[in-house]
Structure 1
Amino acid sequence: MSGPVFLRGDGVTLCPADQSDLEFLCEHENDPRVRSSRAVITPTSADQVTARLGGTMGQNEESVGLLVRAGDERVGFVYLVREESNAVEFRFAELAYWIAHEHWNEGYATAAVAAMVEYGFDELGLHRLKAVTFVDNDASQRVLEKVGFEREGVAREEAFVGGEWRDCVDYGLLEDEWRDSE
């Protein structure tokens, strides 16, 4: 049952996913309700999920992906992605997350995001975090704003999902802004 607790948040723990989490991750990443809140247009395969097991992921293992648990129950996944050119050198990451549909509106996303933000700034030495959400995803925008992210702009028709162009809202959070809000 998942790896050991890596981070603790308000009512959640973040753990490296392991082979026992594969079915949960595939099921929920492919759930149309979860997928519609993300820019995912193709099915997530077991091989793709397997590449994220263990906590680090990506081309350079600078990206972090952790399973979100509430007690003994799996509820979602949260990422700090550092795959863009110069992400490591410029000390930034993109925050991304999803919560299983049956656990929406229970505060798990906010708790997981807050824990990952703290980890990014305190442990990874990041200077900036960014996040992107669809313009009509009010719940995700509230999560980001509760944690201190600032809305930076709208990228018009940035994603082609479900046969239509969708606008995306860009958010950012600087380390000093976050520390000043603590």
Structure 2
Amino acid sequence: MIYNKTETIIETNRLLLRLFKESDAPEIAKLCNNYNIYKNTLYLPYPYSTEDALLWIKNHLANFKEDKSYEFAITDKITGELYGAIALTNNQKFKNGEIAYWMGEEYWGNGYATEAAKAVVDFAFIEKQYHKVFARYFASNLASGRILEKIGMRKEGVLRNHVLKENKYIDLVYYGILKSEANLLN
């Protein structure tokens, strides 16, 4: 993971994580207007429109500058193609944060989410000096759990019937990693 603070870009072997631009909105809408993504995300609306994307992007830069949250577009390092998104929240009081991500369905199974998640965890520990990073996912989304395990997170617990989605209560599975446990890339 290489972080370019001036350009707010994280570079990995295959990916460039950058801030979203308004010009990304049509592609975001195309990727997110997908029931298979919606059913595995907590806050994503469905159907998803370009206007939804523009509203979502609106405060990203201000939140980044104020160290509230860091929303990155997951893009191909060579072509710039948009694959998905990954975010890191910042709880300054406790020096921890949550990662959350979504990936366009056509890009599932290529390891992009794992590569992006590892880079953002490294960013949290190296650049932001977090003590802990955690994530949560719907118990039905086993692929998300595998991503978290691959980046070194450990299961911390299950909040049973914690959220209501499509008139059904769903368990949320929590994973976390401490800075002292992380295999940091320098």
TM range (shorter): 0.7 to 0.9
* Within-5 A mapping of 1:1-182: 6-40=9-43, 42-43=45-46, 45-54=52-61, 57=63, 60-70=66-76, 71-72=78-79, 73-82=81-90, 87-179=91-183
Q: Which runs of 5+ in 2 are unaligned?
A: 1-6
How many Å separate the matches in 2 of 1:135 and 1:49?
Answer: 26
Q: Which runs of 5+ in 1 are unaligned?
A: none
TM-score normalised by the chain length of structure 1: 0.86
Question: What do residues 55-105 of structure 1 show as CA deviations (whole Å, max 9, x unaligned)?
Answer: x538x54200000012321100000012xxxx1121011100110011000
Off by >6 Å, runs of 4+ in structure 1: none
How many Å separate the matches in 2 of 1:123 and 1:112?
Answer: 15
The one-letter code of the counterpart of 2:71 is: G
How many percent identity over aligned positions? 27
The one-letter code of the counterpart of 2:129 is: G
TM-score normalised by the chain length of structure 2: 0.84
Shift of 1:145: 0.3
Aligned CA-pair RMSD:
2.3
Q: Is the 8 A contact 2:122 2:184 kept in 1?
A: no
How many Å separate the matches in 1 of 2:68 and 2:40?
Answer: 25
Q: Is the 8 A contact 1:94 1:130 kept in 2?
A: yes
Question: What do residues 2-59 of structure 1 show as CA deviations (whole Å, max 9, x unaligned)?
Answer: xx570112311101111111112233233211111111363451442232544x538x
